[in-house]
A and B are shown apart, each in its own frame.
Chain A
Amino acid sequence: MTNALPTIAHPPRVRIASPPGIAPAVNVSAPISHQVESLEAEPAAEPVAVPPIIQVQDLSLLYGNVAAVQHVTLDIPRYRVTALIGPSGCGKSTFLRCLNRMNDFIPNARTSGRVLFQNQDIYAREINPIRLRRYIGMVFQRSNPFPQSIYDNVAFGLRLHKMGRAETIHDQVELALRKVGLWDEVKDRLNQNAVTLSGGQQQRLCIARAIAIKPQVLLMDEPASALDPIATAKIEELILQLKEDYTIVIVTHNLQQAGRCSDYTAFFYMGQLIEFDATENIFGQPAAEATEAYINGRFG
């Protein structure tokens, strides 16, 4: 699907907080310059040739006294698919939720470090997480359509953010459903309840719902783990299409999936980022021993 939504092609128009002078966040251990456009300014990160849209700097997350994410520094390249892999409980899902502050809803969770989205620290005090999530969307492990009509599901975010009147909303709903390849399957039953769709269709509907409001980043938390192989293949195909318009960060337990879909792969282990590199390097010649062991199925 090449007909990119007009907004996506434009330079970023994020209005999360008052730009451009970012107030230096408190508790930042390593002071860094605000000129973070190029990666040369960030020697700690792996060399990535694509300009990043999200820059994670020394991010830690604690549940009470237990560290779920420890000192992670990572750049998410724009318009690429970044896979987060690692054994269960390694903190990759928690890390993903840090990127759009869905971890705000976890009681006792505290974060430190910085996450720069379009050069703004999303943990800064003036950031409204509600606005942030409009630009960084999320798709969850289990499809979670609202028990409403298919149409209302996709229109939910559009109405929420008052993105157009009734007639333009219809066009946007159609566009989103077309992008996920669901339009032809559901166009005659848009008023039917979404829970009547099959599992794979429901998950594609959830993706349509997320992209309808034109986010810039799409976070996917094991989006295909509950689906059969055919539905999984469709989701993977979709991910490859979507990266033309969106930056995608995907958590997956399925290493083949990471290999097939992603451009970059980050390997997490026990809350730490062990290795981050282009996917072919991670799978071809991993630098860290733990990565190599995990890739080859010796643990995890």
Chain B
Amino acid sequence: MNSIPQSDVSGQPLDLTSAPTLSQTTLFTALFRSVAFFLVGVVALLVAYIFSQGFHGLNPAFLFGSATSQDSSGMFDVHNAGVFEMVFGTILLVFLMTVLVMPVGVISGIYLNEFSDPNAWTTRIIRSAVNNLAGVPSIIFGLFGLGFFVYFIGGSIDDYVLHTASPVFGKPAVIWAALTLAVLTMPVVVVSTEQALRSVPLPLRDAALGLGATKLQTLRQIVLPQAAPGIITGGILAVSRGAGEVAPIMFTGAAYYLAHLPQSITDQFMELGYHIYILATQSPNVDRTRPLLFATVVVLLLLTFLLNLIAILVRAWTRHRMRSYRA
């Protein structure tokens, strides 16, 4: 029968207990936790404030009513306006942006992770371009979009292709705003795609290559399906980022007021974020505008949440279809 040793090597009795003191660990855990919970407090306050201010402005007339109501003098009547056109414009903008950014971003990410030589100078240039793009302030994208997309690309189409005197493409339009946002959100998609591809286990690639699959076959049949949820996550992040940006679109396509919905990609559009900016800065009667302003903020938040939710559901569905590899 083994007895439990009661003393250490020097013959001193073992003492494995300690007096209950406030240890450093306890102290720092409490400190770090309270700092982390501060974040929760900020979010809770923000949401509570916005909803309390904006909630009673949310009524069907506001949500689905047209923004095109005019007062007796024929001016834009901000106070009785709904947000339908803005919601439509925001959805259109985000949709166009996603369609534009995903192919280019995903292909760039695939190139960087699968085909490029990581040490080549071309790879380093591409990578630093992507990183620098992520650091550019969004107002710069707005000015770039105006100068490059609207005046240079759009203007060139008008001058050399359409030969029109009045601008068709060479003026702010939803397509230019979407392109500008696509450039802005590109780094998110590229980086997410790269990470998603990198996380596909090497043994899976080995298995396909060992069976005589080419690199392209391995990519298409094994790697991309595995990486799809991660790539879609990149799309979700891009949507989240793009739906909230105002600065890039105020020069390139968003309109202060339009009497109609955009009819083509060369039309201007109204957008929620820009509308909030207008309500906050252009109103002659601040007190009357405030409930509308906050109600619009609530709509923008809910819409962004909804767009995210759709993307998350798509990702969940992809994951379900392609159960992840378990080592």
Contacts and interface: CB of A to CB of B under 8 A. Distances in A.
Given A160-B217, A195-B323, A195-B325, A144 B207 contact: yes
Interface string A113-133: 000000000000000001111
A140 B212 contact: no
B5 interface: no
A210 B217 contact: no
Interface residues of A, number: 26
A131 B217 CA distance: 14
B323 A160 contact: no
B41 interface: no
B323 A157 contact: no
Interface in A141-164: 142, 144-147, 156-157, 160-161
Contact of B201 (A100, A131, A144): A144
Contact of A131 (B204, B211, B212): B212
A144 B218 CA distance: 14
A195 B213 CA distance: 21
A161 B212 CA distance: 8
Interface of A: 100, 102, 105, 130-134, 137-138, 140, 142, 144-147, 156-157, 160-161, 193, 195, 206, 209-210, 213
Nearest to A226: B327
Contact of A147 (B208, B212, B214, B324): B324
A169 B156 CA distance: 56
B129 interface: no
Contact of B210 (A140, A142, A193, A195): A140
A58 B213 CA distance: 29
A133 B211 contact: yes
Contacts of B226: 147
Contacts of A142: 203, 327
A209 B323 contact: no
How big is chain B's contact interface, by range?
20 to 34
A132 B226 CA distance: 26
11 contacts: A105-B209, A133-B209, A134-B211, A137-B211, A145-B207, A146-B207, A147-B325, A157-B212, A161-B212, A210-B210, A213-B212
A108 to B, nearest CB: 10
A156 B203 contact: no
A144 B204 contact: yes
B210 A133 contact: yes
Given A138-B210, A147-B322, 12 more contacts: A102-B210, A130-B212, A130-B213, A133-B212, A137-B210, A142-B203, A144-B325, A146-B325, A156-B221, A157-B211, A160-B212, A195-B323
Nearest to B226: A147
A130 B214 contact: yes
B222 interface: yes
B206 interface: yes
B301 to A, nearest CB: 37
B33 interface: no
Contact of A144 (B203, B221, B322, B323): B203
A132 B214 CA distance: 12
B117 to A, nearest CB: 9
Given A146-B204, A146-B222, A193 B323 contact: yes
B211 A156 contact: yes
Shortest Cβ-Cβ A-B pairs, 8 listed? A134-B212, A138-B210, A144-B203, A133-B212, A157-B211, A144-B207, A147-B325, A147-B323
Nearest to B217: A160
Contacts of B203: 140, 142, 144
A146 B222 CA distance: 7
Most B Cβ at <10 Å: residue of A140, A144, A145: A144
Contacts of B211: 133-134, 137, 156-157, 160, 209-210, 213
Contacts of B204: 144, 146-147
B320 to A, nearest CB: 11
A172 to B, nearest CB: 14
Interface in B199-245: 201, 203-204, 206-214, 217, 221-222, 226
A251 B326 CA distance: 24
A195 B326 contact: yes
Nearest to A209: B211
Interface string B18-30: 0000000000000
A208 to B, nearest CB: 12
A146 to B, nearest CB: 6
A144 B206 CA distance: 9
Nearest to B117: A107
A10 B118 CA distance: 45
B315 to A, nearest CB: 16
Contacts of A209: 207, 211
B193 to A, nearest CB: 19
A184 to B, nearest CB: 24
A7 to B, nearest CB: 15
Nearest to B218: A160
Contacts of B207: 140, 144-146, 206, 209
Nearest to A101: B209
Contacts of B209: 102, 105, 133
A187 B201 CA distance: 28
A206 B207 CA distance: 8
Interface in B241-290: none
A170 B314 CA distance: 32
A195 B322 CA distance: 11
A128 B211 CA distance: 13
Contacts of A195: 323, 325-326
